Amino acid sequence: MNDPVIRTAEPGDLDAVLAFWRTAAEGTSISDDRDGVGRLIARDPEALILAEHAGELAGTVIAGFDGWRCHLYRLAVHPGHRRRGIGAALLAAAEERFVRLGGRRGDAMVLDRNELGQHAWRAAGYERQEEWSRWVKPLGGPPS
């Protein structure tokens, strides 16, 4: 297989990314819509990183940096493209971005039930932190 083309997302990629996540990602969140992803790209144009193979979307990762912490979200590889190095290429691009911005440690949120995801993060050198729990609160009322 040829190496994937790694690039940042553009506003014209929104629909393809959302459709891709419905196929390749485990679960959805409150921000997984055109408005949420559009705001991400507008605020931080380099955060959403895409991998393409043969002209089709094969993987994604969001590499968010708030100036203090490096957060990884939505690492997803299309089922037909898994185990070909696409996830590793996406993580390398995200980690390079973090280092360039002065980041010191990357963290990822992974669903407890996502065994494939747990394995992928472990294989990439990430360790689970048992002592932390995630606390969430939807803001601004129910989603529309």
One pLDDT digit (tens) per residue for the chain, 144 residues: 688 999 999 999 999 999 999 989 876 677 788 999 999 999 999 999 999 999 999 999 999 999 999 999 999 999 999 999 999 999 999 999 999 999 999 999 888 888 888 999 999 999 999 888 888 887 886 655
pLDDT for 27: 63
Which amino acid is present at 9? A
Q: How far apart are CA 130 and CA 133, in angstroms?
A: 8
Q: Which CATH superfamily is domain 5-123 in?
A: Gcn5-related N-acetyltransferase (GNAT) (3.40.630.30)
pLDDT for 1: 60
pLDDT for 48: 98
> Nearest Cα to 64, choosing from 101, 24, 25?
101
pTM for this model (two decimals):
0.90
**Residue 123: CB atoms within 10 Å:** 10
pLDDT for 57: 96
